[in-house]
Structure 1
Amino acid sequence: MRIDGRKNDQIRPVKVTRNYTKYAEGSVFIEVGDTKVLCNASIEDRVPPFLKGTGEGWITCEYNMLPRSTQVRKPRDIAKLKIDGRTMEIQRLIGRALRSVVDLKAIGEKTIWIDCDVIQADGGTRTTSISGAFIALVDAVNKLHKVQPFKVYPIRNFVTAVSVGIFENEKILDLCYEEDSKAIVDMNVIMTDEGEFVEVQGTGEEKPFSKKDLEELLALAEKGVKQMINLQKESLKMDCLWIGTGGK
């Protein structure tokens, strides 16, 4: 049994609250174990300069950890007058993950901003952010679709993310902070509901790991992805029926 009593192939308890805030087109508060993230999706009728006149939309993300989301207070980026490298990496990762399953031309010249604010961190903040941000994105896109239906519904697939790793010589799924901080191997895996990989980030923290280890970790991640996608579907209910249909 693990630190929190889970089996090695079991994700933490997940709770999703949709329409969490009043003003955002899509708003989700997602809790994965003790990791809690607010994900808001906002739509603007403009695109970055490099996309003007192309008829193509854009999805981008800002990610932030609130000062007391961690055991020791983390200063706000504004206090340092710069975004730290980890924050920049994670917000780019979230943006890439969401864009990978969206037909940006179908959106038209609109930008969808995804804001992921970590309220409490206990491992897996980036994977939790991606899982919650996808639901917020669906809600935002559906609001547009119901007012003025897209010729082609933009969201082609579900996408989610999980962490896997090797902790005390055991391969485990969905690491909490205590496991993550002492893991021999730490990996984040982003996949679609069709079993395709969007991104794999894997690091041997203490020593290299074998191809066999990699294959076993990816298989474990796939089990976790299926669990998370089922939870996304349960949360969205009838509001996910357009995904992958092109709006037909």
Structure 2
Amino acid sequence: MRIDGRKNNQNRHIKITRHYTRYAEGSVLIETGNTKVICTASVEERIPPFLKGKGEGWITCEYNMLPRATQVRKVRDITRGKMDGRNMEIQRLIGRALRSVVDLKAMGERTIWIDCDVIQADGGTRTASISGAFVALVDAVNRIHKHIPFSIYPVREFVSAVSVGIVNGEKLLDLCYEEDSNAKVDMNIVMTDSGKFIEIQGTGEKSPFSREDLNDLISLGERGIKNMIQVQKESLKVDSLWIGTGEEI
């Protein structure tokens, strides 16, 4: 039996609250168990210099963990005078994941900034951020569409992420912090609704793992991601009608 009574192949309880803040074009509070992340999407009618003249948009991300999101206070980056390497790695991952399912040319010459702020951490903050940020992104894209309709809807398919691992010889889905900190193998998987992989980050924390272990963990992750995408779809309901059409609207 796991710490919170779940089965090995069971996600933590997932809750997505849309329109969580007032001003952002898209905003979501995503809760996966005791992990809580606020994800906002802000639209700017400009693009980075490296995209000038290419006729396409950009999606980028900033990720941060509030000082008391964890059991021990974490010093802010601005106080330290430099950016935390872990934060940088995670925000790049979130940006890659979202860009992979968006037609940037169809989006037009604009930038969507994704901000993921962890207000309470209990493992899986990067995977929760990706899943919540996608919903915030869709809300922002739909806000643009209401004012300046797209000829082709930019979001091609859903994307989500989940953690898996091997803890005390057991293969587990959606690790909480205590499980993650004791994992022999720790892995984060990012996938699309059609079952395609965007990223697999897997590490043998304490010892190597076999190809059979890898296959089992990927299958476990796929199950968890399907569950998360179903929650995303429920939260968006009719607002996701255009996703995946790839046709003129």
Fold match, TM over 0.5? yes
Shift in Å, 1:58: 0.3
Distance in 1 (CA, whole Å) between partners of 2:177 and 2:65 is 15
Shift in Å, 1:148: 1.7
Shift in Å, 1:100: 0.3
Residues 1:176 and 2:176 are matched in the alignment: yes
Show the counterpart of 1:94: 94
Residues 1:9 and 2:32 are matched in the alignment: no
The DSSP-based 3-state class of the residue aligned with 2:67 is coil
**Letter paired with 1:160:** S
**Letter paired with 1:168:** N
The DSSP-based 3-state class of the residue aligned with 2:39 is strand
**Letter paired with 1:74:** K
Shift in Å, 1:24: 0.2
**Aligned ranges 1:52-201 → 2 under 5 Å:** 52-201=52-201
**Letter paired with 2:37:** V
Show the counterpart of 1:236: 236
- Taking only the aligned residue pairs, the percentage that are identical comes to 73
**Letter paired with 2:222:** E
For structure 1, the 5+ residue unaligned runs are: none
Per-residue CA distance 1:19-40 (angstroms, 9 max, x = gap): 0000000000011000000000
Shift in Å, 1:53: 1.5
**Letter paired with 1:39:** C
Per-residue CA distance 1:226-246 (angstroms, 9 max, x = gap): 000000000101111110113
Per-residue CA distance 1:184-222 (angstroms, 9 max, x = gap): 000000000000000000000000000000000000000
Residues 1:28 and 2:28 are matched in the alignment: yes
Per-residue CA distance 1:131-188 (angstroms, 9 max, x = gap): 0000000000001112221011000010000000001100000000000000000000
Distance in 1 (CA, whole Å) between partners of 2:155 and 2:82 is 33
Aligned length: 248
Distance in 1 (CA, whole Å) between partners of 2:225 and 2:241 is 19
Show the counterpart of 1:221: 221
The DSSP-based 3-state class of the residue aligned with 2:75 is coil
For structure 2, the 5+ residue unaligned runs are: none
Distance in 2 (CA, whole Å) between partners of 1:45 and 1:53 is 14
The DSSP-based 3-state class of the residue aligned with 2:235 is helix
Shift in Å, 1:52: 1.1
The DSSP-based 3-state class of the residue aligned with 1:46 is coil
Distance in 1 (CA, whole Å) between partners of 2:146 and 2:46 is 20
- Kindly report the root-mean-square deviation, in angstroms, between the aligned alpha carbons of the 2 structures: 0.6
**TM-score normalised over the length of structure 1:** 0.99
Distance in 1 (CA, whole Å) between partners of 2:17 and 2:220 is 27
In the TM superposition, structure 1's runs of 4+ consecutive aligned residues that sit over 6 Å from their partners are none
Distance in 2 (CA, whole Å) between partners of 1:160 and 1:167 is 23
Show the counterpart of 2:47: 47
**Letter paired with 1:196:** K
Shift in Å, 1:54: 1.1
Distance in 2 (CA, whole Å) between partners of 1:206 and 1:78 is 33
